[in-house]
């Protein structure tokens, strides 16, 4: 009897495993691994929202924002800004129906100076399943001359605000860990590492990386950035050969830190001034795409110490003009989206560009990948799905029917897309979808 029970337990675990994988959450910026990858094998490939094909639900979101939705179990969270009341909002929805469960005003503050393609709610939240962490910029009516701009103008300086809420919308803590000033506005998506919440404070002033205690919001460590230059990169954390590395490009260099205390492992100077796209890793190399005023794609060896500018750049390409969208890496291919609508595919080992092709009008959202396919969603809501390989192969073209500037999310075998007005949920279990 004992043997029979053991066999049945193994059978139950084996049968449950695919369900566990398909139910993978998307808890923060770029998903569970911070690199745009999903383990789902059943993400929809074909849909047409205006025609009603593939749409499970859509929900009007109060206010506007470019932050991605995050999904944990039956809860979906998104941040927004009511441009009339100046309220910065956290909205919680039912992941399966799209019904708004609650919304909370995090802060009320004047609208900050920003770039035309930025929003007042661009920082994607992150959750551990118990608390959800959000960040906004709080400014007053004070204005100062804009630093690091070509055209002189006045802008609004402010302070970073970070807050934690539980799943019922109860505020647990709120702190203001540092100042921030940028003519392009604010965006800093926090990441979780053990008991810490880490936020990038690159700006046109005294830049910093800061780690907060997730239970209390108190500052655990804070390190200065080498240069005071605005950048909007979310750190990527990986354990490599026994060493935990938090890599982040920005502030005129690329660097690796120990996320437990902020100590720096290595640094690569340059190759440009400003960065937005987050980095990715394929188990052998880190990959960086940037930026402004010059454009670069790099493969970087992860085993360096100290200044490795001259020793650890495996390859360096300057033929892809990517600034904002973050790339993905799939089966030896690095896929990079040019802001202006061009897709690029690089060999991850050599840096050779295998192909380049125009897929859309303009890209703001970052790439995501599932089941060996890469999703390119353009600002006009048209998604081209590409199969990585030696030649450009578009397997599907899909319509959203609404402009979108946020990066999509994948959870529960579904695609969550934040449009200008609505949050859409697309899945294969709807009529006419695949």
DSSP string, 100-144: EEEEEEEEE-BPPP--TT--SS----EE-SSEEEEEEEEE-S--E
The domain that holds 376 is classified in CATH as: 2.130.10.10
User: How far apart are alpha carbons 326 and 396 in whole angstroms?
Assistant: 21
- Residue 143, domain extent: 24-427
- Model-wide pTM > 0.85: yes
Which residue in 307, 306, 281 sits closest to 298, CA to CA? Answer: 281
User: Is residue 34 domain-resident?
Assistant: yes
d(CA 111, CA 87): 9
pLDDT at position 198 is 98
Cα gap 373→151, rounded to integer Å = 42
Q: Does residue 183 lie in a domain region?
A: yes
Placement of tokens 């085993």 in the chain: 303
Q: Which tens digit of pLDDT belongs to each residue from 132-154?
A: 999 999 999 999 999 999 999 99
d(CA 408, CA 97) in angstroms, rounded, equals 18
Count of domains for the chain: 1
Indicate the DSSP class of residue 84. T
pLDDT of 258 above 60: yes
Model confidence over 314-358: pLDDT tens digits? 999 999 999 999 999 999 999 999 999 999 999 999 999 999 999
C-alpha–C-alpha distance, residues 226 and 178, integer Å = 16
Q: Is residue 377 part of a domain?
A: yes
pLDDT, mean of residues 90-102: 98
In a domain, 10, yes or no: no
Q: Identify whether the C-beta of residue 211 lies closer than 8 Å to the C-beta of residue 194.
A: no
């Amino acid at each position: 009897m004992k043997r029979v029970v053991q066999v049945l337990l193994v059978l139950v675990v084996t049968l449950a495993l695919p369900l566990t994988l398909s139910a993978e959450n998307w808890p923060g910026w770029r998903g569970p691994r911070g690199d745009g990858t999903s383990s789902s094998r059943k993400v929809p490939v074909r849909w047409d929202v205006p025609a009603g094909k593939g749409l499970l639900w859509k929900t009007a979101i109060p206010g506007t924002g470019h932050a991605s939705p995050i999904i944990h179990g039956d809860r979906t969270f998104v941040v927004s800004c009511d441009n009339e009341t100046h309220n910065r909002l956290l909205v919680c929805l039912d992941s399966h129906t799209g019904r708004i469960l609650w919304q909370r005003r995090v802060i009320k503050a004047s609208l900050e100076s920003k770039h035309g393609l930025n929003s007042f709610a661009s920082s994607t939240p992150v959750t551990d399943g118990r608390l959800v962490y959000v960040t906004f910029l709080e400014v007053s009516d004070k204005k100062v001359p804009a630093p690091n701009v070509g055209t002189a103008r006045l802008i609004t300086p402010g302070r970073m605000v970070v807050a934690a809420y539980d799943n019922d919308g109860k505020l647990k803590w709120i702190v203001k860990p540092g100042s921030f000033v940028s003519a392009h506005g604010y965006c800093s998506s926090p990441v979780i590492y053990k008991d810490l919440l880490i936020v990038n404070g690159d700006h046109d002033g005294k830049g910093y990386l800061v780690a907060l205690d997730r239970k209390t919001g108190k500052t655990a460590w804070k390190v200065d950035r080498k240069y005071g230059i605005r950048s909007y990169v979310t750190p990527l954390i990986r354990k490599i050969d026994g060493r935990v590395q938090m890599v982040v490009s920005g502030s005129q260099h690329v660097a690796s830190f120990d996320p437990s205390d902020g100590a720096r492992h290595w640094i690569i100077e340059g190759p440009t001034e400003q960065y937005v796209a987050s980095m990715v890793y394929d188990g052998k190399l880190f990959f960086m795409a940037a930026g402004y005023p010059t454009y670069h794609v790099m493969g970087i060896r992860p085993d360096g110490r100290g200044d490795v500018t001259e020793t650890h750049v495996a390859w360096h390409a300057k033929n892809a003009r990517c600034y904002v969208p973050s790339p993905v890496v799939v089966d030896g291919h690095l896929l990079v989206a040019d802001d202006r609508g061009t897709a690029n595919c690089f060999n991850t080992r050599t840096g050779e560009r295998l192909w380049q092709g125009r897929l859309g009008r303009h890209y703001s959202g970052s790439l995501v990948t599932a089941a060996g396919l890469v999703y390119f969603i353009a600002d006009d809501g048209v998604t081209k799905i590409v199969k990585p390989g030696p030649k450009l192969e578009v397997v599907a073209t899909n319509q959203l029917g609404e402009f979108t500037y946020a990066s999509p999310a994948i959870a529960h075998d579904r695609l969550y897309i934040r449009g200008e007005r609505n949050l859409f949920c697309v899945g294969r279990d709807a009529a006419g979808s695949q």
